[in-house]
Amino acid sequence: MKNIDKYRGVLVFIKKEQDTFVKNNLGLISLGRVIADELETKLSAILAGDSLGDLPDKLRSYGVDIVYTVDNPMLKRYSTFYYQKIVCDLLKESNPEIVLFCSDDVGMDLAPRVACEFQTGLSAHCMELKTDKKSRQLLQICPYFDHMATILTNTRPQIATIQVGAKKDLIRKDNRKGKIIDVVPDFENQNVKILSVHKKEISDQEKIEEADVIVAVGRGMKNIQLAEELATTLSGVIGATQAVTDADLLSESHMIGQTGKVVQPKLYIACGISGAGQHIVGMQDSGTIVAINTDENAPIFKIADYGIVGDASKVISEILKILKN
Ligand code: FAD
């Protein structure tokens, strides 16, 4: 085991997108603040991108003690090689005991590479993080089949990605005025160059994370067309569980949950979905949750605001009739 005493502090990875922070990053900072306070240590953030403007200052106002800024034109678009280099170089300098990323596309790409470079563990898609003050261990709580597992890492740094959608209540301003340290990246030996970028057209369906209404289908929903009709009638989009995308009934872009997308619509209608932990982590922050299931003991009813026990196709047909009238 590495000499773990030389590692101190919590570091969060923050990404710039257009002129602001990537969605959910403020939740990550606030969570990092809570953990740093529990361990009586400092919270640092690495903010990378180009033309960072006043974003470093804004970060300080959310309770970051040290903001490391890497402002470079090469960081305009996310590129694994450049981002891995700046994060790993900084970790070698600052030796944090805990490093946190959002469970988003960037976090899921970057965190395993950083963990691999440091030969340390990574807990992906955590739902909750706690600390054991005495041992300075990070308790990384993730869904594991039908249970929640608590993972401990005996190497340093302890690295985790977290679904921060669920932590939005944590976000709060903090008056401390932390330091801003500009880091000059060393990209000399980086031989990857982006020559051109071809933007993929994103359909409304693929922007499922931004939808106000989601009609989500699970294995128990036999008539997906009907669910699509309801989604269209409510100006919403269609979501799915892994059981449905694995069966190729809908594409993976519809999948919601631990492996899929994290959504927060105003209305989430779950049709024939049991409510496995891996699905719940992706939708539990929805405004109003309506669940339709034939099994009155289905776990989805525990988090639903309204539950309807019945055949999902029949129930949706009735709802459509009412809406059309
Ligand atoms: P089931 O669990 O089979 O549930 C079907 C439900 O339909 C049942 O509750 C049943 O009572 C009900 N039903 C049956 N007939 C009807 C009817 N006629 N009308 C109404 N209800 C009916 N899953 C995800 O969704 N997203 C993820 O991101 C994800 N990531 C995973 C990651 C890992 C590492 C692992 C191990 C699993 C992951 N899973 C994920 C899978 C997850 O564990 C569940 O298997 C999956 O969510 C179950 O999907 P389901 O609810 O559609 O199917």
pLDDT at 32: 94
80, 87 Cβ separation under 8 angstroms: no
Q: Omega of the bond prior to 157 within 30 degrees of 0, cis? A: yes
Ligand 1 residue neighbourhood (C-beta within 6 Å) = 145, 218-220, 222, 241-244, 255-260, 272-274, 276, 278-279, 282, 292-295, 298, 311-312
- The closest residue, in CA terms, to atom 11 on ligand 1 is 295
- Candidate of 127, 246, 249, 278 to mutate for ligand 1, largest count of ligand atoms within 8 Å of Cβ: 278
- Decide if 190 is inside a domain: no
Residues 11, 155 within the same domain: yes
- The closest residue, in CA terms, to atom 9 on ligand 1 is 274
274 CA to middle of ligand 1, Å? 5
Atom of ligand 1 nearest to the CA of 277: 43
Structure tokens at 318: 């009735």
pLDDT tens for 185-222 read 988 877 777 788 887 776 766 689 889 999 999 999 99
Residues 9, 46 within the same domain: yes
Domain containing residue 264: 205-324
Task: Output b/e per residue, 76-95; b: 16+ Cβ within 10 A.
Answer: eebbeebbbbbbbebbeebe
Residues 136, 215 within the same domain: no
- Decide if 196 is inside a domain: no
Does the reported pTM lie above 0.85?
Answer: no
pLDDT at 204: 67
pLDDT tens for 8-31 read 999 999 988 777 777 678 889 989
pLDDT tens for 118-131 read 999 999 989 889 99
